[in-house]
């Protein structure tokens, strides 16, 4: 069991220890769940109040919070300090040494030094796995795919043909990279083409053949990228779909073919990005946001949760609503709707007078 003194934890978190209790810390938890050997994480007002009822002898608190008779470690950025502590106590999933007997490794695949290959993993022809990478059970690495060094693949990851993954990437359960893009064409113009061109749907053939457009590009993932469970990234049609360094992608995200995702982006759960979109560096796409195809989002922008984005936005935009508009415009729209509600209320108050006036006016006529 891991055990640390308060002095050690203060040093690790760059915090200020206000009082040193004689206690060995073996765990971290919210105040209500903490015992005498647990460091209570009181990062917000409610947790700070709960310290009055905790069994813990010490707590991590924001800078400036000092509780009489209680050992505290004050930190300037509590969430950053929490990350350091979780890293301290985190235990990675167990991996086997070397290649498991049930793994299927093609003779032309290449495996680096100190690599762990779990049960039922398949490395196809020409696949390359870099040094110190760990691939857990039931993963598939496609033909000529290249996996960098120090990566960690949780069970059930599927990497398609020719996909390139950088160093220090983490892929969670069920990640799928390199499936065919959703790309089709009809022999004659269909209703979608007409709607885009004319703004209306005219007569279309009752029956028409839909031809699949195969994807001959692939997917390229940068360094230090993390991708959440059951997220899918399709390969490009004739060019690669790309994700930049240090980007973090949540569970259940869909990124379409030909998309270019920048560096340092945060893409939250259930975001859907249609094909050929370009996302700049350090963009945040909040939960359930949806982007239409061929859209460009400038760097350092924020797309709010459930936004329906149908057009491009410049750098440093804050985008809200469906259809999405700049935040200031959205607030203006809300104000207009509120004012309209007040006007309707006043109208209803005076409606009897208006009706009486109209009745009298009609009688005179």
pLDDT, tens digit, 9 for 90 and up, residues 212-235: 999 999 999 999 999 999 999 999
* pLDDT for position 363: 54
Question: Where do the domains of the chain lie?
Answer: 6-89, 104-325, 332-365
- Range ranked top by mean pLDDT from 23-32, 49-58, 117-126, 354-363: 117-126
Q: What mean pLDDT is predicted for residues 139-164?
A: 98
Residue 257: active-site member: yes
User: 309 Cβ partners below 8 Å, 6+ apart?
Assistant: 289, 290, 291, 292, 295, 297, 303, 319, 323, 324
Residue 250: closest CA among 161, 170, 168: 170
Between CA 23 and CA 328 the distance in angstroms is: 52
Backbone φ/ψ region at 355: left (φ over 0), alpha (ψ -120 to 50), beta: alpha
Q: What's the pTM value of the predicted model, to 2 decimals?
A: 0.84
Under 8 Å between Cβ of 215 and 233? no
pLDDT at 365: 44
How many CA atoms are closer than 13 Å to the CA of 144, on its beta-carbon side? 6
Active-site residue, from 53, 100, 106, 257: 257
Select from 170, 153, 165 the least CA-distant residue to 103. 153
Domain 6-89 has CATH 3.40.1390.10: yes
Cβ atoms 154, 169 nearer than 8 A: no
Span 329-351, average pLDDT: 80
Judge: domain 104-325, CATH 3.30.1490.70: no
């Amino acid at each position: 069991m891991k055990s640390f003194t308060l002095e050690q934890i203060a040093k690790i978190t760059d915090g200020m220890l206000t009082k040193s209790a004689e206690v060995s810390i073996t765990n971290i938890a919210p105040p209500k769940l903490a015992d005498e050997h647990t460091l209570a994480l009181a990062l917000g007002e409610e947790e700070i109040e709960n310290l009055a009822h905790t069994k813990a002898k010490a707590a991590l608190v924001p800078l400036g919070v000092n509780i009489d008779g209680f050992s505290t470690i004050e930190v300037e950025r509590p969430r950053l300090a929490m990350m350091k502590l979780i890293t301290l106590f985190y235990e990675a999933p167990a991996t086997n040494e070397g290649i498991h007997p049930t793994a299927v490794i093609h003779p032309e695949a290449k495996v680096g030094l100190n690599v762990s290959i779990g049960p039922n993993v398949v490395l196809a022809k020409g696949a390359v796995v870099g040094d110190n990478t760990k691939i857990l059970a039931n993963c598939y690495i496609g033909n000529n795919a290249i996996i960098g060094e120090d990566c960690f693949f949780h069970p059930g990851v599927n990497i398609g043909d020719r996909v390139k993954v950088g160093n220090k990437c983490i892929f969670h359960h069920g990640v799928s990279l390199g499936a065919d893009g959703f790309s089709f064409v009809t022999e004659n113009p269909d209703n979608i083409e007409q709607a885009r061109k004319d703004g209306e749907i005219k007569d279309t053939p009752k029956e028409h053949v839909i031809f699949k457009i195969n994807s001959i590009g692939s997917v390229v993932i940068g360094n230090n990228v993390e991708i959440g469970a059951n997220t899918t990234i399709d390969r490009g049609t004739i060019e690669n779909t790309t994700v930049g360094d240090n980007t973090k992608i949540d569970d259940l995200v869909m990124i379409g073919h030909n998309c270019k995702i920048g560096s340092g982006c945060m893409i939250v759960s259930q975001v859907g990005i249609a094909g050929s979109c370009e996302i700049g560096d350090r963009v945040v796409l909040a939960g359930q946001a949806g982007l239409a195809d061929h859209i460009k989002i400038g760097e350092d922008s924020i797309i709010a949760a459930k936004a329906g984005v149908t057009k491009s936005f410049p750098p440093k935009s804050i985008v809200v609503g469906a259809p999405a508009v700049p935040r200031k415009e959205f607030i203006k729209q809300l104000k207009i709707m509120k004012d309209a509600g007040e006007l309707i209320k006043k109208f209803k108050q005076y409606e009897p007078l208006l009706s009486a006036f109209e009745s009298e006016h009609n009688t005179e006529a």
